[in-house]
Amino acid sequence: MDRADLERLDRDCPLSPCRERFVLPDGVLYFDGNSLGALPRTAPSSIGELVEAEWGGGLIRSWLDAGWFHLARRAGDAIAPLIGASAGEVAVSDSTSVNIFKLAAALLRGGGRRKVLTESGNFPTDMYILEGLVDLLGGGRALVRAPPDEILDAIDEATALVVLSHVDYRTGAVLDMEGIAARCKALGVPAIWDLCHSAGAIPVELNRCGVDYAVGCTYKFLNGGPGAPAFAYVSRDAIGAFEPAVTGWFGHAEQFRFEDRYRPADSIAKCLVGSPPILSLRAVLDGVACFEGVDMAALAAKSRRLSDLFIALADERLARHGLELASPREAARRGSQVSFRHAHAYAIARALIANDLIPDFRDPDILRFGITPLYMRHVDVWDAVETIDAVMAGRAWEDFRTAEREAVT
Amino acid sequence: MDRADLERLDRDCPLSPCRERFVLPDGVLYFDGNSLGALPRTAPSSIGELVEAEWGGGLIRSWLDAGWFHLARRAGDAIAPLIGASAGEVAVSDSTSVNIFKLAAALLRGGGRRKVLTESGNFPTDMYILEGLVDLLGGGRALVRAPPDEILDAIDEATALVVLSHVDYRTGAVLDMEGIAARCKALGVPAIWDLCHSAGAIPVELNRCGVDYAVGCTYKFLNGGPGAPAFAYVSRDAIGAFEPAVTGWFGHAEQFRFEDRYRPADSIAKCLVGSPPILSLRAVLDGVACFEGVDMAALAAKSRRLSDLFIALADERLARHGLELASPREAARRGSQVSFRHAHAYAIARALIANDLIPDFRDPDILRFGITPLYMRHVDVWDAVETIDAVMAGRAWEDFRTAEREAVT
């Protein structure tokens, strides 16, 4: 197999035209769409129109006339089919961290169970939020961190809440959502799934798996733009009994009655709190619209093809440089990324960026390559491996060994 | 006094050139800058540049290269001088509601006091957030609502927390920040001030008044755009002992170490939680930049002049239509708005909007005219009173009596 074979694969790939939905800088190999998705081609004009016509011209009237009031739910409805949810089950507002807090606080209120369970390698903000919340609520609650292969056994009748990331941000390992959700249901344990690294990347079937609560990011695979607000999902089954704990006016049954007492909306709107950031929220619609007409199974298949290709080429050309695969080899157990371990991962990431290949570094030793099949080509994987091989062979990364450690994300 | 006199005042007003800092639609009398500030002239190009060059071209690198990581504090530092705070005491992120929750949750943790005090006419989301939080924390905590003139007496040694709006959203009445803050200090009661209707509108002197905690909106008088993230203020004196309860990765001492345990930053950054919405946050800088070189005392003086003019003209021409002044007559007790009561306030608001005069309706009977002295002219007040007079005299509002009640805001 050589580069020409991959060019042929790109030519024949039915998803290749999706790349035209994005604006990508020339000469850059972008493997960090799982930190910040690329710019949708429609975003500059739709944000420009929002700023100039809706804000500037419509002013306050645009909350109604331009539908700002409904954006949080409209964006949620656009995301729903990508995660196996139904219209009315998803709303977009606040950050992922705040959404975890909102759901977890509501689910931990009252009740006699005291164990809050998460995965030991979970994304830090998930753990931090739970740590703070458990401390705030007190009453003997404790946060327990179990390694991924012990999660299932750790869910028991003392468990008040489970919070798990569907895909591990470092390695890309996927948890068995269906199996864990079934055990939670059987024991009456609510579970919140963090879909930051799975929404828009791999098939997610919340409804089919019987998942009641989830949150996720819109600025990674969903291309919603930097810091775009996150989504919260509460299933149709669970929404009726769900009692919000962070109770703001956007979640009120009749927001503009300005009543003295809080009465939650009888829909997913009860998960909203304050005014959503309209500029950032509007871009989420552009980001999600890039999936229009895309079959998620075909997208996932392309993700696996690209990742498998990356791993095969890495075996051939990168292993000798000491890059050790950190992601599962088995495609079914892997999200849409390929990660490697190397003691000098940080310096290598810096060197690659200096050579126009953008990966992510994740402390302490992870070099992470995001696979975004909507806009990534087979040849990009080939070219990336070429660049890594050259940087490692030429030891170009050594120039960055003593570089001050900054966030690479 | 006639319109020509007011034209002369506008010509002579040293703040008149500030109007050029905004893009305002032709033929519209905008009296709702206290719900959504007008579009800063610089915003379309700076947001366009952010979207196309920083997001599209810089991609993930822009978190460092374009300073996205520092935007929350940079925007806070820009706001600080407008509210009598110092650099490093203010950060912009999340909604006002979430910021109230963040501060209140931290301040209510532990301690033996159980009374949470607010004003009975406080903005609903402030009350809702406290209601939800008190219920979440339990332990005998109770939310007490006192009318404005009883607040001072209601602050006692059983009080765990006071949350007050500096300016009443309906009437524009101003609370005595200095007196209340002094009483709180004397009794060791933490107080959170909601500055939504005072930041950028009237002089606010947090440091001088000894205020330790405040939040406020950036989309009203600060012109940050629809749903722009809000600010949180914690004084230099209080920040050291402040222990966050909503503990996300953006508030961590070393966010990109990805440590398992939360360690708060040793600065106002500890009030941050998740990724801030960069598009919306960036516009806050444009909004606040409109105050550049503006003396806040001169701005407040113009606000009073415009409001006094409005009230004088209303006495002369609108009282006969049954519009009853709801704002304090005494300028020193009034924020930057003039409100009236009328049983058909909603229909009147709709009729005025149909006649290109945009006020706000506030349930149940308040017609609210925001005074934004950065871009409002004396003749605008004259023209507004003309329009109201004509609409009331012609009973044009009766067409809207049965109109379905929607949010006017």
Q: How many CA atoms lie within 13 A of B48 on its CB side?
A: 10
Structure tokens at B135: 């219920």
B408 has a pLDDT exceeding 70: no
Cβ distance A97 to B281 less than 8 Å, yes or no, reads no
Please determine, for residue B345, whether its predicted confidence score (pLDDT) is greater than 50.
Answer: yes
pLDDT at A401: 86
Question: Which pLDDT belongs to residue A187?
Answer: 98
CB A122 within 8 A of CB A143: no
**pLDDT band, residue B187 (cuts 50/70/90):** very high
* pLDDT at A399 (0 to 100): 87
A349–chain B Cβ distance below 8 A for any pair: no
Q: Is the minimum CB–CB distance between B252 and chain A shorter than 8 Å?
A: yes
CA-nearest of A38, A29, A1 to A384 is: A29
B259 with A124: Cβ contact below 8 A:
yes
Interface contacts A/B by beta carbons within 8 Å: 298
pLDDT at B409 over 90: no
Give the Cβ contact number of residue A41 at 10 Å: 15
Rounded to whole angstroms, what are the CA distances from A28 to A182, A351, A357, B61? 43, 14, 6, 12
Q: Categorize the per-residue pLDDT at B406 as very low, low, confident or very high, splitting at 50, 70 and 90.
A: low
DSSP A356: T
A228 to chain B: closest CA residue: B277
Instruction: Give the tens place of pLDDT for each residue, B40-87.
Output: 999 999 999 999 999 999 999 999 999 999 999 999 999 999 999 999
Which residues have CB under 8 Å from B385's CB, separation 6+?
B310, B313, B314, B317, B318
Average pLDDT per 10 consecutive residues for chain A, totaling 409 residues: 96 97 97 98 98 98 96 98 98 98 96 95 96 96 97 97 98 97 98 98 97 98 98 98 98 94 97 98 98 95 97 97 97 97 95 96 94 98 98 90 64
User: CA nearest A361 in B: which residue?
Assistant: B256
Asked if the C-beta of B262 comes within 8 angstroms of chain A's C-beta atoms, the answer is yes
Please, which residues 205-234 of chain B have a Cβ atom closer than 8 Å to chain A?
Answer: 219, 225-230
CA distance B114 to B118: 13
What is the rounded distance in angstroms from the CA atom of residue A284 to the CA atom of residue A365? 32
Looking at CA atoms only, how far is residue B22 from chain A in angstroms? Answer: 9
Q: What is the DSSP string of B274-311?
A: S---HHHHHHHHHHHHTTTT--HHHHHHHHHHHHHHHH
For residue A128, what pLDDT is reported? 98
Which amino acid is located at B242 in the chain?
F
